[in-house]
Amino acid sequence: MRWFRAHKVLLAIYIGGLTLAVLELYLPQFQHDYLTNSKSLLQPEINLADVSSRLYPDRAYSFYYRALQAALCVRGTASPPECRNRAPVKSHEIRELVERSLATGNRSIEMAMYNYAIILLQEQASHEEIDAAIHNWRTNYPNSNEVDPREMHRQMTQGTIAARPEDRFHAEKVAR
């Protein structure tokens, strides 16, 4: 009991530090549904892409969220306020934003690597570029549950799978 009294402040600091360390290690692994929901990228009051870009302009997630936002706006199926207030999406803008996200060196965004390979397939890039992008994705995520990007692209072009991101995420949740 005497040892506990003498070291209680030190124990409190260690317990607090360990708690923070565990949270830092395990919380980033959970991807919340609101991150895959188009509302979080398009509604002005909760616009994840703009908020992230303002707070962290040079981070990988900021570039990737802006690419997702541009992809949602380019579809033209809906015209939320954010799409009306932004300049028209140029054909190369989405690819450039994903490339900038990957150029930061952050390898924690699996879908950025995966979607980059699909973008290259959609733009009919060279086989070397496509193979390098898929190899990069597979190297960083060898146990991924995602279908090979070539197969995903084939299914999207044949219409056997939803091409819209939110439809794809919904279909994956139903399948699980």
Of 61 and 72, the structure prediction assigns the larger pLDDT to: 61
Of 85 and 17, the structure prediction assigns the larger pLDDT to: 17
Structure tokens at 46: 């909760």
What pLDDT is recorded for position 161?
A: 67
Structure tokens at 67: 């690419």
Q: Can you tell me the distance from the alpha carbon of 74 to that of 96, in angstroms, rounded to the nearest whole number? A: 15
Q: What are phi and psi of 131, to 5 degrees?
A: -60, -40
Domains of the chain: 31-175 (1.25.40)
Amino acid at 118: I
Residue 134's CB is within 10 A of a number of other CB atoms, namely 20
Using the predicted structure, report yes or no on whether residue 97 has a pLDDT greater than 60: yes
**How does DSSP assign 25-85, residue by residue?**
HHGGGPPPHHHHSTHHHH-GGG-HHHHHHHH-TTSHHHHHHHHHHHHHHHH-S---HHHHH
Radius of gyration of the chain (CA): 20
What pLDDT is recorded for position 173?
A: 42
What pLDDT is recorded for position 156?
A: 84
What pLDDT is recorded for position 33?
A: 54
The predicted model scores a pTM of 0.64
Taking the CA atoms of residue 173, residue 99, residue 116 and residue 77 in that order, the dihedral angle to the nearest 10 degrees is: 60
Q: Can you tell me the distance from the alpha carbon of 60 to that of 98, in angstroms, rounded to the nearest whole number? A: 9
pLDDT tens for 103-159 read 998 888 888 999 999 999 988 999 999 999 999 999 999 999 898 999 988 888 887
pLDDT band at 163; cut points 50, 70, 90:
low
